Amino acid sequence: MAYDKFNILNSTAVPLPIENVDTDQIIPARFLKATERVGFGDNLFRDWRYNSDDSPKEDFVLNNDTYSGKILVGGKNFGSGSSREHAAWAIYDYGFRCVVSSFFADIFRNNCLNIGVLPVQVSPAFLEEIFAAISQDPNTTLTVNLPLQQISIDANAKAENFDINPYKKENMTNGFDDIDYLLNIKEEVSAFSKTTPL
């Protein structure tokens, strides 16, 4: 599915300094019943965000007007657990284009890259710097520069480089997805399939 190209993102950020945020928290299983990719943003962090009577939980960061932006900053081991791509969809549909953490779970990272959310892995120390900067000034902005593979805190110009696979970087900057690539090599796949032992 096509997504908006990602180049340089400058935005305020929403802090979620909790470790091991699993995909069941990002979107609980009971909201996975759709047959189309619509409405997932409404249920992002559903049970942390709303009480059982659907009233908002005031102490949760998404219900706090002080914080907003297109960047979500989470604690270590973000996106663990279930492979549900719905978690990445919920993050994208809510309006985030980038998730920053000191560590990502594998499947979640892949899912993000496949749908146009950029996972930016920073050092634990830099993650603390970001949390501190947001805590000091919720309007502080971060710049995520994909071509340079650099994330910076604009207020103090502190910056760090991040890794991304060159192929995936090319896809993100152009809004391509892997299926286009694979469809182009279908003949090669067909020939290969005749050589497999199973």
Partner 1 sequence: MKKTLFDKVWDKHVVQQIDQGPDVLFIDRHMVHEVTSPVAFLGLKNRNIKVMFPEKTFATADHNTPTVNQHLPVKDPLSAKQLDALEKNAAEHDISFWGLGHEKNGIVHVVGPEYGITVPGATIVCGDSHTSTHGAFGAIAFGIGTSEVEMVLSTQCILQPKPKKMRITINGDLQKGVGPKDVALFIIAQLTTSGATGYFVEYAGEVFKNMTMEGRMTVCNLSIEMGARGGMIAPDEKTFHYIKDREFTPKGDAWNKAMDYWQELYTDEGAEFDKELFFDGKEIEPMITFGTNPGMGIGISKNIPTVDTIEGGTATYQKSLSYMGYNEGESMIGKDIDFVFIGSCTNGRIEDFRAFTEIVKGRKKAENVTAWLVPGSHKVEEAIKEEGLLDILQASGFELREPGCSACLAMNDDKVPTGKYAVSTSNRNFEGRQGPGSRTLLASPIMAAAAAVTGKVTDPRTLMNS
Task: Decide if residue 36 touches partner 1 (CB under 8 A).
Answer: yes
Separation CA 109–CA 121 (nearest Å): 10
Q: CB within 8 A of 186, min separation 6: which ones?
A: none
Cβ-in-10-Å burial (0-12, 13-18, 19+) of 172 comes to: buried
CB of 45 to partner 1, least distance (A): 11
Choose the binding region for partner 1 from 64-72, 91-99, 139-147, 190-198 (rule: CB under 8 A): 190-198
Separation CA 135–CA 130 (nearest Å): 8
For partner 1 (CB under 8 A), the number of binding residues is 59
Q: Name the residue among 94, 80, 84, 88 with its Cα closest to residue 115.
A: 88
Separation CA 16–CA 18 (nearest Å): 6
Sole binder of partner 1 in the list 4, 56, 66, 106 (CB under 8 A) = 106
Quick one: 157 or 194, whose CB is closer to partner 1?
Answer: 194
Contacts (CB under 8 A) with partner 1, residues 164-183:
165-168, 177-179, 181-183
Contacts (CB under 8 A) with partner 1, residues 117-146:
none
Quick one: 107 or 120, whose CB is closer to partner 1?
Answer: 107
Q: Binding marks (x or -) toward partner 1, 37..76, rule CB under 8 A?
A: x---------x----x----------------------xx
Sole binder of partner 1 in the list 73, 98, 100, 107 (CB under 8 A) = 107
Task: Decide if residue 198 touches partner 1 (CB under 8 A).
Answer: yes
- What is the contact surface with partner 1 in residues (CB under 8 A)? 1, 17-20, 22, 24-25, 28-30, 32-37, 47, 52, 75-77, 80-86, 88, 103-107, 110-111, 114-115, 165-168, 177-179, 181-183, 185-186, 188-190, 192-193, 196-198
